[in-house]
Chains A and B, each alone.
Chain A
Amino acid sequence: MTTNEPTVLLPGIDEAEAKKRAGAFARLLRMPLGLLSIIILVAFVILGLLEPVLSNHDPLFASLQHINAPAGTSGWLLGGDQYGRDIWARVLTSINVSLISALIGAGVGLVFGSIFGLIAGYAGGRADAVLSWIFNLLMTFPSLILVMVLAPVIGTTYQGMMAIFGLFLAPGIFRLVRNLVQGVRNELYVDAARVAGLSTWRILSRHVLYVVRGPVVISTVFLASSAIGVQAGLAFLGFGSTQTPSFGSMTGDAFANIYTEPMQFVWPSLFLALLNIGLIFFGNAYRDALAGPQAVVAKKRRRHETSQETVTRYEPDGSVGGGLLKLRNLRVSYPQPDGSEKNVVEGLSLDIHPGEIVGLVGESGSGKTQTAFSILGLLPKEARVGADEMRLAGDSLIGVSQTQMRKLRGGVISYIPQEPMSNLDPSFTVGSQLMEGLTKGMSKAEAKRTILELLERVGIPDPARTFDSYPHQISGGMAQRVLIAGAVASRPKLLIADEPTTALDVTVQAEILDLLRELQGELGMGVLLVTHNFGVVADLCDRVVVMRNGHLVEEGGVREIFHHPSQEYTQELINSILDEETVRMDPPVVVGSQAGGAL
Chain B
Amino acid sequence: MLAFILKRLGEGIVLIFVVTAVTFFLTFGAGIPVALNILGPTASADQVASLNADLGLDRPIVEQYFSWLGGVMHGDLGHSYFTSEAITSSLVHRLPVTMSVVAVACVITVILSVVLGVASAARGGWLDKVLQGIATFSYVFPAIVLGVVLVYVFAVTLHLVPAIGYVPIGESFGGWFGSVILPAVVLSIGGIASLAAQIRGALIDELNKDYIRSLRSRGVSERSILLKHSLRNAASPALTTFSLMFIAMFGSSLFVEKIFALPGFGSYGYTSTIQGDLPAMLGVSLFSVGLVVVVNLIVDLANGWLNPKVRVS
A interface residue numbers (CB < 8 A to B)? 137, 139-146, 148-153, 222, 225-226, 229, 232-233, 236-239, 248, 251-252, 255, 258-259, 262, 265, 269, 272-273, 276-277, 279-281, 284, 376, 378, 402, 406-411, 414-415, 417, 419, 422-428, 433-434, 436-438, 440, 470, 472-473, 483, 486-487, 489-490
Q: How far is the CB of A36 from chain B (nearest CB, A)?
A: 13
Q: Do B213 and A237 touch across chains, with their CB atoms under 8 A apart?
A: no
Q: How far is the CB of B246 from chain A (nearest CB, A)?
A: 10
Q: Do A425 and B218 touch across chains, with their CB atoms under 8 A apart?
A: no
Number of chain B interface residues as a range: 35 or more
Q: Do B251 and A437 touch across chains, with their CB atoms under 8 A apart?
A: no
Could you tell me the distance between the alpha carbons of A136 and B98 in the complex, rounded to whole angstroms? 25
Q: Do B132 and A284 touch across chains, with their CB atoms under 8 A apart?
A: yes
Could you tell me the distance between the alpha carbons of A489 and B23 in the complex, rounded to whole angstroms? 65
Q: Do B15 and A137 touch across chains, with their CB atoms under 8 A apart?
A: yes
- Near A by CB (< 8 A), chain B positions 124-179 give 132, 136, 139-145, 148-149, 151-152, 156
Residue numbers in B under 8 Å from A150 (CB-CB): 23, 26-27
Q: Do B217 and A233 touch across chains, with their CB atoms under 8 A apart?
A: no
**Contact code string B217-261 (vs A, CB < 8 Å = 1, else 0):** 111111010000100110000000001100110111011001100
Given contacts A141-B289, A144-B254, A149-B285, contact A258 B156 (CB under 8 A): yes
Quick one: which of B30, B132, B143, B145 contacts A269, CB cutoff 8 A? B145
Identity of the chain A residue whose Cβ is nearest the Cβ of B30 in the assembled complex: A153
Could you tell me the distance between the alpha carbons of A153 and B32 in the complex, rounded to whole angstroms? 8
B interface residue numbers (CB < 8 A to A)? 15, 19, 23, 26-27, 30, 32, 132, 136, 139-145, 148-149, 151-152, 156, 209-211, 213-222, 224, 229, 232-233, 243-244, 247-248, 250-252, 254-255, 258-259, 266, 269-270, 273-274, 276, 281, 284-285, 288-289, 291-292, 295-296, 306-309, 312
Q: Do A148 and B269 touch across chains, with their CB atoms under 8 A apart?
A: yes
Q: Is the interface of B mostly helix, strand, loop or mixed?
A: helix
Q: Which of B15, B26, B149, B211 counts the most chain A CB atoms within 10 A?
A: B211
Q: Do B156 and A259 touch across chains, with their CB atoms under 8 A apart?
A: yes
Given contacts A148-B270, A402-B222, A424-B211, contact A280 B217 (CB under 8 A): no
Could you tell me the distance between the alpha carbons of A281 and B135 in the complex, rounded to whole angstroms? 11
Q: How far is the CB of A33 from chain B (nearest CB, A)?
A: 10
Q: Do B139 and A152 touch across chains, with their CB atoms under 8 A apart?
A: no
Residue numbers in A under 8 Å from B222 (CB-CB): 402, 406
Known pairs A141-B292, A472-B308. 20 more at Cβ < 8 A?
A144-B252, A149-B27, A149-B284, A229-B142, A232-B142, A232-B144, A237-B255, A239-B273, A251-B148, A258-B148, A280-B139, A280-B140, A378-B213, A402-B222, A406-B221, A409-B219, A423-B210, A425-B215, A428-B229, A436-B224
Residue numbers in B under 8 Å from A153 (CB-CB): 26-27, 30, 32
Residue numbers in A under 8 Å from B216 (CB-CB): 378, 406, 409
Could you tell me the distance between the alpha carbons of A281 and B132 in the complex, rounded to whole angstroms? 11
Could you tell me the distance between the alpha carbons of A473 and B217 in the complex, rounded to whole angstroms? 23
Could you tell me the distance between the alpha carbons of A490 and B220 in the complex, rounded to whole angstroms? 12
Residue numbers in A under 8 Å from B132 (CB-CB): 284
Quick one: which of A251, A410, A436, A472 contacts B145, CB cutoff 8 A? A251
27 A–B pairs (Cβ distance < 8 Å), ordered by A: A141-B292, A142-B247, A145-B251, A145-B266, A146-B19, A148-B270, A149-B269, A151-B273, A153-B27, A225-B139, A233-B144, A233-B254, A236-B258, A251-B144, A258-B148, A273-B145, A277-B136, A378-B216, A378-B217, A415-B218, A417-B213, A423-B214, A426-B233, A437-B218, A470-B309, A472-B308, A487-B217
Residue numbers in B under 8 Å from A143 (CB-CB): 251
Could you tell me the distance between the alpha carbons of A255 and B148 in the complex, rounded to whole angstroms? 7
Residue numbers in B under 8 Å from A152 (CB-CB): 27, 30, 32, 273, 276
Could you tell me the distance between the alpha carbons of A280 and B144 in the complex, rounded to whole angstroms? 18
Q: How far is the CB of A418 from chain B (nearest CB, A)?
A: 8
Could you tell me the distance between the alpha carbons of A216 and B249 in the complex, rounded to whole angstroms? 25
Quick one: which of A141, A236, A281, A487 contacts B218, CB cutoff 8 A? A487
Quick one: which of B145, B209, B218, B309 contacts A486, CB cutoff 8 A? B218
Q: Do B255 and A140 touch across chains, with their CB atoms under 8 A apart?
A: no
Could you tell me the distance between the alpha carbons of A180 and B244 in the complex, rounded to whole angstroms? 22
Could you tell me the distance between the alpha carbons of A55 and B275 in the complex, rounded to whole angstroms? 35
Could you tell me the distance between the alpha carbons of A490 and B27 in the complex, rounded to whole angstroms? 72
Could you tell me the distance between the alpha carbons of A226 and B307 in the complex, rounded to whole angstroms? 34
Q: How far is the CB of B267 from chain A (nearest CB, A)?
A: 10
Could you tell me the distance between the alpha carbons of A280 and B141 in the complex, rounded to whole angstroms? 12
Identity of the chain A residue whose Cβ is nearest the Cβ of B254 in the assembled complex: A144
Residue numbers in A under 8 Å from B308 (CB-CB): 426-427, 470, 472
Given contacts A149-B27, A414-B217, A414-B218, contact A236 B144 (CB under 8 A): yes
Could you tell me the distance between the alpha carbons of A471 and B18 in the complex, rounded to whole angstroms? 42
Q: Do A409 and B258 touch across chains, with their CB atoms under 8 A apart?
A: no
Q: How far is the CB of B13 from chain A (nearest CB, A)?
A: 14
Quick one: which of A145, A233, A470 contacts B288, CB cutoff 8 A? A145
Q: Which of A148, A238, A424 counts the most chain B CB atoms within 10 A?
A: A148
Q: Do B136 and A280 touch across chains, with their CB atoms under 8 A apart?
A: yes
Q: Do B15 and A490 touch across chains, with their CB atoms under 8 A apart?
A: no
Q: Do B217 and A425 touch across chains, with their CB atoms under 8 A apart?
A: no
Could you tell me the distance between the alpha carbons of A426 and B229 in the complex, rounded to whole angstroms? 9
Could you tell me the distance between the alpha carbons of A534 and B269 in the complex, rounded to whole angstroms? 74
Identity of the chain B residue whose Cβ is nearest the Cβ of A141 in the assembled complex: B292
Q: Do A148 and B136 touch across chains, with their CB atoms under 8 A apart?
A: no
Q: How far is the CB of A315 from chain B (nearest CB, A)?
A: 25
Q: How far is the CB of B273 from chain A (nearest CB, A)?
A: 5
Residue numbers in A under 8 Å from B214 (CB-CB): 415, 417, 423-424, 483, 486
Could you tell me the distance between the alpha carbons of A236 and B258 in the complex, rounded to whole angstroms? 9
Could you tell me the distance between the alpha carbons of A426 and B288 in the complex, rounded to whole angstroms? 36
Q: How far is the CB of A219 from chain B (nearest CB, A)?
A: 13
Q: How far is the CB of B233 from chain A (nearest CB, A)?
A: 5
Q: How far is the CB of A176 from chain B (nearest CB, A)?
A: 15
Q: Which of A139, A150, A239, A277 counts the most chain B CB atoms within 10 A?
A: A150
Q: Do B220 and A437 touch across chains, with their CB atoms under 8 A apart?
A: yes
